[in-house]
Chains A and B, each alone.
Chain A
Amino acid sequence: MSSAFESHPATRWGALAPAVVVIGVFMLVPILIMAVISLLEANPYGGVYHHFSPAAYVQLLFEFDLDDSLVFNPGYLIILLRSLVLALLATLSCLALGFPVAFYVTRQPPRRRNLLVLLITIPFWTNLLVRAFAWIIILGRGGVLDTPLKALGIIDESLGLLYTDQAILIGLTYTYLPLMVLPIYASLEKLDFRLVEAASDLYADNLTAVRKVVIPLALPGIIAGCILVFVPALGDFISPTLLGGAKHLTLGSLVQFQFATARNWPFGSAVAMLLLVFVAIGAAAYVMLARPRDTAR
C-alpha cells in the first residue's frame, strides 16, 4: 500500500508545484533575466537599452581611453583579487580556529556536546548587521579594544583597526565561523575513535594520530566547511561596507554600489554573474570532493 504521493504523479506534482513555482518564478527567472541584462547596453539614466552588448564584461578589464581605444584597467581586477584574498584568508582563519574546537566538541560527553553545538549556532542565527555593529564598537577609535590598551599604556594611539582590510577579515571570520565548525563536527562525530587509539597503540604520538587518522577522515567535513565559508565570504556585503568603511570595495559591495548608486544594471549584473561562477565552482568542488561516499553513485 503506497502513499498517493507515490502512486499518483498528479498528486505528487500538485504538492510540489507551489515550491517549484514560487522559487522558479521569483528566483530562477530573475537570475536568468539578470544573465540577459548583463549582456545588454546600459542606459546612462538607469535601466537598459534592449540590444546586445558585451560592454559590461569588457568593463571588468578595460576602459575607453579619450580616443575611444580600449586600455587595460586593473581597477576591477584588483577588487576581484582583494575579495578572493580576503575570502581565502577568512576561510583559513575559520579552519585554524574551528578545527580544534570541532575536535574538542566531539570528545565531550553527548549532553555537553549538544549544548556546545547549540552555543555555536546561536550567534549564527542572530542578525548579521547586529554582529557587524558589535565589531564597530569593539574596533572603533576609542572603542572597547582601544580604551583598556591605552589605559595600560600598551598603545599611545588608537589601533585604528576599524575601516581597514583587517577589520573586514575579522568580520568575515566571525560571521562564517559556525559554517566551518559544524560540517567538520558532523564528520568527526561519525569518526570511530578506536582508530585513533589503534594509531596510538602503534606508537603514533597524538599529533601524528591527528595528522594521519583524524584529518583524512574529517576531510569531507573540512572541504565542505571551506566551501561553505569561502563562497558567501566572497560575496559578503555587510563586513566590507560597515567594517571596511566602503572605501575598500569587494565584489559584494561593488554589486550593491552598481545598483544603489551608479545605476549601471548591466555592469552590476556582470559582477553578480562572476559571483555565481564562483558559486558554481564551489558547488562542483563540493560534489566531487566532499559528498559522502555512500550517496555518490
Chain B
Amino acid sequence: MSAARRGRGAGRVGAGRVGAGRVGAGRVGEFRGLGAWAAGFYGFLYFPIVVLVVYSFNQSRLALMWQGFGLRWYVKVFHNEGIRGAAYNSLVVAASATAIATVVAVAAALALARGGEFRGRHAVLGLISLPLMVPEIVTAVATLMFFTSIGLALGLGNLIIAHTVFCIPFAFMPIRARLAGTDLSLEEAARDLYAGEWASFRYVTLPLMMPGIVAGATLSFVISLDDFIITLMVSNEGTTTLPVYIYSMIRQGVTPEVNAISSILFAISVTLVGVYWIASRAPVEAPSKEEKTP
C-alpha cells in the first residue's frame, strides 16, 4: 500500500526527477525506450507529410530532384484551369452535402437524445452508422449501379447525394455526443418558466448544442472534401473533384505540381480539423455566464 502511494507520488513529480529514483526494474510502468518508440512513431506518422510539403517548394521539374526553394509550383497550381474547376466542384459538393447532412443530423440527434427509449431506436442508430461500416469501395460501386439503374444524372447533384449519405454519420456523432453531455435540467427550467417547446429549443438547447453542430459540420466538410473512392466512381468528366483530379495527375506521372496542390489540401484539412477539435472540446455550460453564479 505504502509503496503504491510512493509510486503514485513519484508519478506526480516532474519527469526530470524520476530518473533519480529508478531502482532495479525501473519505476512502475516506466519502460526504457518507450519515449523513443513514441518519438519514432510520431516521426513515421509525420515523415511523409513533411516530405510532401518540403518537396512542394522544390524548383525542379522532376519531383524527386531537389533544385532549390521556390513557389514555382504553387503559381502553376493557381494558373491550372483544371485544378480551379475541380476545386470549385469540390467546394460546391462539400458545402451542399455538409449543409444537408448537418440539418438531417441535428434532427436525428435531437430525436435520439431526447426521445427516450423507443422501438426501433437501435435500428435507426445502426442505419446511421451504416456508411461508417461498409467499405468505401462497396458503397462506391453500389451507388454507381443504383444511379445508373434509375437513370439519375444530375451532374454535381449525384455527387451531392452520395456525399450527403456518408457525411450524415460524421455530422451526427459530435452533435449526439454534445447532447449526451448537456444537462436536461436547463431545458426543464426553461419550460418551468413557461417557455414553449420551440422557445426552449431556440434559446436553450440550440445554443448548448452549437459547438457540437460546428464540430459535426466541420468534420463532414473535411470528409466530403477529401473523399476520393466514392467520388471517383460516381463522378464523370464534368464533375471532377480535386482528389479525383489529383489522382489523374498522379497516374500521368509524379510532378511537383501534385506536391503543391496536395500540400494546399493538407493545410485546409489541418485547419478544419483544428476548428473541429476546438469546437468539440468546448466546455458544456449554460449559455450565459451569469447563470453559473449561485
Contacts and interface: CB of A to CB of B under 8 A. Distances in A.
Interface in A269-297: 269, 272, 275-276, 279, 283
A234 B133 CA distance: 13
A29 B48 contact: no
A231 B30 CA distance: 33
Which of A28, A100, A125, A238 is most buried by chain B, counting CB atoms within 10 A of its CB?
A125
Interface residues of A, number: 94
A240 to B, nearest CB: 11
Contact of B262 (A12, A20, A127): A127
B145 A137 contact: no
B5 to A, nearest CB: 9
A33 interface: yes
Nearest to B106: A15
Given A27-B134, A101-B37, A238 B229 contact: yes
Given A23-B130, A206-B25, A237-B136, A126 B266 contact: yes
A268 interface: yes
B8 A130 contact: no
A245 B121 CA distance: 45
Interface stretch (A61-69, A74-82, A196-204): A196-204
Report, as a range, how many residues of chain B touch the other chain: 35 or more
Interface in B137-180: 137-146, 149, 161-162, 164-165, 168, 172
Interface stretch (B79-87, B246-254, B285-293): B246-254
B187 A130 contact: no
A120 to B, nearest CB: 7
B251 to A, nearest CB: 9
A15 B110 contact: yes
B20 interface: no
A101 B41 contact: yes
Contacts of B229: 237-238, 256
A137 B64 contact: yes
A123 B45 contact: yes
A248 interface: no
A26 B166 CA distance: 10
Contacts of B28: 196-197, 200, 206, 209
A27 B273 contact: no
A20 B26 CA distance: 55
Interface in B190-237: 191-192, 197, 222, 226, 228-229, 233
Contacts, number: 280
A27 B44 CA distance: 36
B77 interface: no
A221 B53 CA distance: 34
Which of B52, B197, B272 is most buried by chain A, counting CB atoms within 10 A of its CB?
B52
B127 interface: yes
Contact of A31 (B1, B115, B134, B172): B134
B29 interface: yes
Interface in A117-145: 118-123, 125-131, 133-138, 140, 142-144
A127 B115 contact: no
Contacts of B48: 131, 134-135, 137-138, 174
B64 A133 contact: no
A34 B145 contact: yes
Interface stretch (A3-11, A51-59, A149-157): A3-11
Contacts of B127: 19-20, 23-24, 28
A26 B51 contact: no
Contacts of A177: 44-45
Contacts of A49: none
Nearest to B225: A127
Q: Is the interface of A mostly helix, strand, loop or mixed?
A: helix
A255 B137 contact: yes
Which of A20, A174, A206 is most buried by chain B, counting CB atoms within 10 A of its CB?
A206
Interface string A180-209: 000000000000011011101100011001
A261 interface: no
Given A123-B45, A206-B29, A194 B8 contact: yes
A85 interface: no
Contacts of A129: 228, 243, 246-247, 250, 262
B63 A137 contact: yes
Nearest to B267: A126
A110 interface: no
A220 B132 CA distance: 20
A235 interface: yes
Given A18-B107, A24-B127, A198 B135 contact: no
A260 B137 CA distance: 12
A23 B63 CA distance: 42
A1 B188 contact: yes
Contact of A201 (B4, B55, B161): B4
Contacts of A138: 47-48, 51
Given A101-B37, A137-B52, A4 B197 contact: yes
19 contacts: A1-B191, A3-B197, A11-B111, A23-B130, A26-B164, A30-B139, A31-B134, A101-B38, A122-B273, A125-B226, A129-B247, A133-B250, A137-B52, A144-B51, A197-B3, A234-B135, A235-B136, A256-B141, A275-B135
